[in-house]
Amino acid sequence: MNPRQAVYPESYFTATMNRSRDFPRLQGDAQADVCVIGGGYTGLSSAIHLAERGYSVVLLEAERVGWGASGRNGGHCSIGQRKTQDELEQIYGHDEARRLWDLGVESVATVRELIARFGIECDLKRGCLQTAWKRSDADWYRRHADFMQAYYGFDLRYVEGPELARLAGTDVFRAGLVEYASAHLHPLNYALGLADAANGLGVRICEGSRVQGYDRARPTRVRTAEGSVSADHVVLACNAYLGRLEPRVAGKIMPLNNFIIATEPLTAEEQQRINPEDLCVYDAKFVVNFWKLSGDGRLLFGGGENYTRRFPSDIKSFVRKRMMPIYPALSDTRVDFGWGGTLAVTMNRMPCFGRLEPDVFYALGFSGHGVQIATLAGKLIAEAVSGTAERFDVMARIPSPTFPGGTLLRWPGLVAGMLYHALRDRLGA
Ligand SMILES: Cc1cc2nc3c(=O)[nH]c(=O)nc-3n(C[C@H](O)[C@H](O)[C@H](O)COP(=O)(O)OP(=O)(O)OC[C@H]3O[C@@H](n4cnc5c(N)ncnc54)[C@H](O)[C@@H]3O)c2cc1C
């Protein structure tokens, strides 16, 4: 490895990554039709879909491909949008909600299709279970299942009692919703596979190449410490790691940190007891807990957030505390890995798509729903760059309010709000 190359943060995913390949830094001046900034799912999917349409693409990544949230997340690839369909119908009306649903379904199909087409080995599995702690959430689950069947023909099965206890491997929940259209995967290996695919299509990937700025002319000159790229179009795909690169969108997102642990490999009996159908699972807490089995039979359990620049000093204990009420039988199970990453949320928890002058496209703020929607974003951005923005505009029409106080003052309001909801979670309110 190049000694100046950034390293991936330690996690279960880096310990089991398919390979760690270097892409060289950008040195000198280059030209391309499109310069993509950021090497997570948004940037890599944009690069693939643009290259397939015949554009020359340079992708600049500050660290390593998949170094950001795309290489550290829970790997849940859930059907639909971040908000539920009944919420979307109330806000945007049936027709627009239907378009958003169709795109949400396509997003998971796109992930599957890319994995199949490029032969990406990333432990792809199917199925998802949502679980409710409270009676009020259970009642809502029942209504939601009926609504999805009646208006979308979508099979979301309401479960409770022994069937729920069997699926979740615990009897702490009141109700669940199970479906088999969602998927789950090894997130870093998915990102690395996308990078290989992009590279194979002729995309020039440069790691260790942090963009310092770009000018507002056309072609745009995108600058790094050691070089530049002149391009007709720019794709901004930095999500929570955007920093001050583009103040025109920075205030629309709030970076926050989320954490995951991986236990030691469980025995075959434990795996069968905890998760007999190998589903990805998440609960209905505001600060959501999410878990699944890894390809080698560990429990990957995510939960807990913080809103500062620092991660907790002991991530393993921080997250384990959230796992124990659900799986007390794992009290003696060793936790081998604990790590964190930063995601971006928006005010309304829907992603933020748009374009800026001169010709900059952006998609970010996936609010914990980015495995599939960030992948879809790349496809829609490629369509928009090539002049067919109809589907990109369905996403771009979703309002993206700026956080009150913008980048300077957004923290106090968010932290107060998050702590309030976290307290309600703890009190079971
Ligand atoms: C702990 C955790 C768990 C999560 N779990 C799930 C889940 O289970 N399911 C789900 O759907 N979503 C989940 N998410 C969210 C999901 O990971 C993200 O929405 C998704 O990865 C966003 O992809 P992205 O490409 O937009 O951003 P990222 O993957 O964060 O990539 C952005 C990249 O831009 C680069 N960059 C930033 N600035 C510059 C610059 N100036 N120059 C060059 N490069 C730059 C960064 O280095 C980074 O690699 C989770 C996130 C976290 C942190």
pLDDT the model gives residue 404:
84
Q: Which residues pair with 362 in a beta bridge?
A: 236, 354
Among protein residues, the one with the nearest Cα to ligand 1's atom 48 is 68
pTM value is 0.96
Ligand 1 closest atom vs CA 40: 25
pLDDT the model gives residue 418:
60
Residue 357 banded pLDDT, cuts 50, 70, 90:
confident
Ligand 1 closest atom vs CA 65: 49
The class level of CATH for 12-72+188-250+348-403 reads alpha beta
Kindly list the protein residues whose Cβ atom lies closer than 6 A to any atom of ligand 1: 37-43, 60-63, 67-70, 72-76, 210-211, 237-242, 245, 258, 260, 290, 302, 341-343, 364, 366, 368-371, 374
State yes or no: pLDDT of 287 exceeds 60.
yes
Supply the angle between the helices 94-117 and 187-200 in degrees, to the nearest 10: 70
Q: Best of 76, 185, 241, 245 to mutate for ligand 1, by most ligand atoms within 8 A of CB?
A: 241
Please tell me the distance from the alpha carbon of residue 278 to that of residue 282, in angstroms, as a whole number: 13
Task: Please name the residue ranges forming H helices in 283-405.
Answer: 315-323, 370-385, 390-396
Among protein residues, the one with the nearest Cα to ligand 1's atom 16 is 370
Among protein residues, the one with the nearest Cα to ligand 1's atom 25 is 40
- Pick from 195, 137, 133: which is nearest to 168 by CA? 133
pLDDT the model gives residue 308:
82
25, 208 contact by CB (below 8 A): yes
State yes or no: pLDDT of 155 exceeds 90.
yes
Residue-wise pLDDT for 221-236, tens only, equals 999 999 999 999 999 9
Please tell me the distance from the alpha carbon of residue 22 to that of residue 192, in angstroms, as a whole number: 11
pLDDT the model gives residue 421:
55
> Domain extents for the chain?
12-72+188-250+348-403
Q: Best of 70, 184, 291, 373 to mutate for ligand 1, by most ligand atoms within 8 A of CB?
A: 70
Among protein residues, the one with the nearest Cα to ligand 1's atom 18 is 370
Higher pLDDT, 19 or 303: 303
Residue-wise pLDDT for 199-214, tens only, equals 999 999 999 999 999 9
- Pick from 226, 241, 182, 180: which is nearest to 26 by CA? 226
Residue 386 banded pLDDT, cuts 50, 70, 90:
very high
Among protein residues, the one with the nearest Cα to ligand 1's atom 4 is 73
